[in-house]
Amino acid sequence: MDHKAQVNGTTLSYFDEGTGPVVLLMHGFPLNRQMWQAQIRPLSQAGYRVIAPDLPGFGGSEPSAAGYSMDAFADTIIGLLDALDLRRVVVGGMSMGGYILCDLLERYPERVSAACFIATKSADDDEEGRARRTTLAAQAERLGANPIIKIFAELLFAPETSQTQPALIAQVTAWMRSTAPGALAGGLLAMRDRKDYTELLPSFPQPSLVLFGSEDRAGSPAAVEVFRAGLPACESLIIPGGGHMVNMEQPELFNARLLDFLNRNRENL
């Protein structure tokens, strides 16, 4: 069900469905909570309460009153949990959402009972990557979503998806097009300025699951090995045929692995 909450001076829109241990899912850039449609019903029917917010400026949420940074995004998530009187939850983050998850694990570890890293990495951008984000942020401010769509429409999907699921690509493109220019620019700069969490991974003791698509063109499966080497309690799966939108491209495999992880750790969630 759709809900709204006042959090840190910003009105957030979010899905909230089911009962049981809480699983909070954070979308990637430049997307919104709709990307979790294939997960909400299966998880809620399996006995979990699923919360999926639109991050500030994305989807139905107002722009951030605190500006855009990984700290600000993480503070917003904690504000939402406080508003819902939730102390500890499972947190899943896709791509940019995974960067926010790292921030939460560092700054609010007591609020995260288990972590799911989806199509993401622990490292920061190199100099070339930061320069690309700076340029793209300026273009987004000036031209809106078109420069973003031109780049991300291909990167987000496995090559085969372009042929087999054109409606999915059209839907995701529409989500990108609907995002406010300020949020696009803010998200890009927040990702540009994020810290490198690789050295901190051993300090994150929560049960962790890493999911990655074998055909991810926006990231490298090598990131999975970094998580596995650094996280003390890490499981992982590279899902065949999945791209960066692995949860939407291969939902049955994705959901089965996520539910297996949740069910085995349920007593501690």
Residues 207-243 have pLDDT tens digits of 999 999 999 999 888 999 999 999 999 999 999 999 9
Confidence of residue 66 (pLDDT cuts 50, 70, 90): confident
The pLDDT assigned to 154 comes to: 79
The pLDDT assigned to 185 comes to: 95
The pLDDT assigned to 220 comes to: 86
List 25's β-bridge partners, or say none: 92
**What is the rounded average pLDDT of the residues 129-146?**
94
The whole-chain average pLDDT of the chain stands at: 95
Radius of gyration of the chain (CA): 17
Q: Which pLDDT tens digit goes with each residue over 178-197?
A: 998 999 999 999 999 999 99
Asked whether residue 172 carries a pLDDT value surpassing 80, the answer given is: yes
| HSE (side-chain half, CA atoms, 13 Å) at 187 | 27
Confidence of residue 64 (pLDDT cuts 50, 70, 90): confident
Six-digit token string for 37: 């449609």
The pLDDT assigned to 189 comes to: 97
The pLDDT assigned to 97 comes to: 98
Q: How far is CA 18 from the centre of its chain?
A: 20
CB 55 within 8 A of CB 41: no
The pLDDT assigned to 227 comes to: 98
Q: Which pLDDT tens digit goes with each residue over 30-62?
A: 999 999 999 999 999 999 999 999 999 999 999
Enumerate domains of the chain plus CATH numbers: 2-123+195-268 (3.40.50.1820)
Asked whether residue 102 carries a pLDDT value surpassing 90, the answer given is: yes
The four Cα atoms 246, 252, 258, 262 give a dihedral, to 10 degrees, of 160
**What is the rounded average pLDDT of the residues 262-267?**
97
Asked whether residue 1 carries a pLDDT value surpassing 80, the answer given is: no
